[in-house]
Amino acid sequence: MNRPHGTPPSSPAGPAASSPPRAPRRRDSARPAGETPALPCERESEILRAIEARHWPDRCDDELRAHSASCADCADLVDVATALTGDREEAMRAAHVPPSGAVWWRAQLRARQDAARAARRIISIVQAAAVLVAVVAVFLIVGPVLPAIHWSLPLIAALASPLVLAPVAVYFALTEH
């Protein structure tokens, strides 16, 4: 009632003033001096649930809205939570999700590649074992008649080449992925 002259008694916003769009309601002076600010308001969780469920402010109790207008903690909570919820919805709208067919196709391709890699590893091990068996068999067969052979350089080279090549083949077979 100590309103100075020239100031209108209320905001002449007309019918649009019934629901201001997210008007910040800061009542920093609403907290009495004796109140301890460490204790959060017990209705903050209620307001937060309403905001996260998108019930705020249209589908909330009038009493809850009135409380947030009169409580500094809850007014701050409304400001921050509505801003964060809006940001999250914006990010989810902007996120590019690949179509399910592409995801399925990539999963199938990866499974096939894994199976082929495992099969190649088994084949390499079998090949290496076969080479070793063949070399041992050759020596078992040829060994007894070795003293009777007339040794010549081409024959020695022909017989020695598997001895040289077998370890190399085994190495490449075992290290191939």
Closest distance to Zn ion from the beta carbon of 26 (Å): 14
- Pull the structure tokens for residue 79: 């400001």
Q: State which residue, 30 or 166, has the beta carbon closest to Zn ion.
A: 30
d(CA 147, CA 157): 17
- For residue 68, count CB atoms less than 10 angstroms from its CB and return exposed for 0-12, middle for 13-18, buried for 19 or more: buried
Structure tokens belonging to residue 30: 């609403």
Taking the C-alpha atoms of residue 169 and residue 126, their distance in angstroms, rounded to an integer, is 12
Nearer to Zn ion by Cβ, of 43 and 121: the residue is: 43
Beta carbon nearer to Zn ion, 71 or 128: 71
CB of 73 to Zn ion, least distance (A): 5
Residue 88 CB, shortest distance to Zn ion, in Å, is 23
> CA angle at residue 59 from 95 to 42, to 5 degrees?
90
As measured in angstroms, the least distance from the Cβ of 44 to Zn ion is 6
Distances in whole angstroms, Cα of residue 21 to Cα of each of 24, 25, 49, 78, 135: 9, 11, 20, 13, 87
Residue closer to Zn ion by CB (options 30, 135) is: 30
Residue 11, token pair as written in the block: 């905001």
Where along the sequence are the contacts to Zn ion (CB under 5 A)? 41, 43, 71, 74
Q: Which is nearer to Zn ion, 71 or 131 (CB)?
A: 71
CB of 87 to Zn ion, least distance (A): 23
The 3-state DSSP class for residue 6 equals coil
CA distances from 138 to 84, 125, 132 (A): 77, 20, 10
Tell the smallest beta-carbon distance from residue 71 to Zn ion (Å): 3
